C-alpha cells in the first residue's frame, strides 16, 4: 500500500525556520495537504494543493514541492506553532487518501 | 457559518457495532464529499473512507472494507459512519471532514471528534 514518509520530530528555536518534509512516489502526480494538530484538538488545514494557504493561516506557513518530496516551511517559528504536523495526499489513482506518520515540531 | 457537529462519545463491547453521526450546516450539504478519519490514542491520523452526499456513493480504505458503512440523510444534512465487529484496536477519536476542493482534499472543516472506546 502507498505510504508517505515524514521525520518523526523536528526541533527549532523561536524565530528560526522549520522545514518538515514528506516523501512519496505519487507526489509528482497528486497534490499534498498539510495539517497542524495540537493536543486534544481536531486537525487544522494549513496548506492545500502543495503551496496554497487557506484564509486565516499566517503567512509564515508555506509549502513547496519538488519531485517526490513536499516540504512545509514555517518561517519565524513561534511558540504557538509547537504541534504535530501531518502531510496528506492520495495514491497514484487518486482514490485512496493517505496520511504521513506525522512530525512533532518542538519549539525549544 | 460552517459547522460539522458529531455525536457524543460511545463505549462499546468487543464484537459490537458503533454508529457515529456528523451533522453539517452552513453550506450546501450535497456539494461536498465527506471523509472519515480516525486517530487512536497517541497515534497518527488514519483515513477510513469517503462518501458523496449527493448520490450516496462511497469508497472505503482497504483496511476497513467489510466492517465500515457510510451513509447519509439529505433531509437532515447528516452523514453516518458505522463500524462493526469492534475490537480494542478500534478505540480512537473519529472525525468527519468536508468542504474539500476535490475528492482527495479532506477540506478546511472538521468535526469536533467522537471518542469511541471499545472495552469489555
> What are the tens digits of pLDDT across the range B30-66?
999 999 999 999 999 999 999 999 999 999 999 999 9
From residue A90, how far is each of A8, A42, B17, B105 by CA, in Å? 20, 21, 29, 9
- pLDDT at B103 (0 to 100): 87
Which of A42, A83, A104 best probes binding to B when mutated, by most B CB atoms within 10 angstroms?
A42
d(CA B95, CA B92): 10
Residue B9 has pLDDT above 90, yes or no: yes
Which residue of B lies nearest to A56 if distances are taken between CA atoms? B108
CB contact under 8 A, B105 and A54: no
Band of pLDDT at residue B102, cut at 50, 70 and 90: confident
Express each pLDDT in A52-93 by its tens digit. 999 999 999 999 999 999 999 999 999 999 999 999 999 999
Of the given ranges (A10-24, A93-107, B93-107), which has the lowest mean pLDDT?
A: B93-107
Longest dimension (CA), chain B: 41
Amino acid at each position: 500500500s502507498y505510504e508517505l514518509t515524514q521525520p518523526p520530530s523536528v526541533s527549532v528555536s523561536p524565530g528560526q525556520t522549520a522545514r518538515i518534509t514528506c516523501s512519496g512516489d505519487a507526489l509528482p502526480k497528486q497534490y499534498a495537504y498539510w495539517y497542524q494538530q495540537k493536543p486534544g484538538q481536531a486537525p487544522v488545514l494549513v496548506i492545500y494543493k502543495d503551496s496554497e494557504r487557506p484564509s486565516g493561516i499566517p503567512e509564515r506557513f508555506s509549502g513547496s514541492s519538488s519531485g517526490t518530496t513536499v516540504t512545509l516551511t514555517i518561517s519565524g517559528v513561534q511558540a504557538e506553532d509547537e504541534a504535530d504536523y501531518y502531510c496528506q495526499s492520495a495514491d497514484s489513482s487518486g482514490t485512496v487518501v493517505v496520511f504521513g506518520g506525522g512530525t512533532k515540531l518542538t519549539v525549544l | 457559518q460552517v459547522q460539522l457537529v458529531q455525536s457524543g462519545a460511545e463505549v462499546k463491547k468487543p464484537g459490537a457495532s458503533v454508529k457515529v453521526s456528523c451533522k453539517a450546516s452552513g453550506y450546501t450539504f450535497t456539494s461536498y464529499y465527506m471523509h472519515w478519519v480516525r486517530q487512536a490514542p497517541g497515534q497518527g491520523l488514519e483515513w477510513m473512507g469517503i462518501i458523496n452526499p449527493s448520490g450516496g456513493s462511497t469508497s472505503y480504505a482497504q483496511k476497513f472494507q467489510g466492517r465500515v458503512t457510510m451513509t447519509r440523510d439529505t433531509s437532515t444534512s447528516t452523514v453516518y459512519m458505522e463500524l462493526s465487529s469492534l475490537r480494542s484496536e478500534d478505540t480512537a477519536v473519529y472525525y468527519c471532514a468536508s468542504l474539500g476542493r476535490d475528492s482527495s482534499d479532506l477540506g478546511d472543516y472538521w468535526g469536533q471528534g467522537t471518542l469511541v472506546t471499545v472495552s469489555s
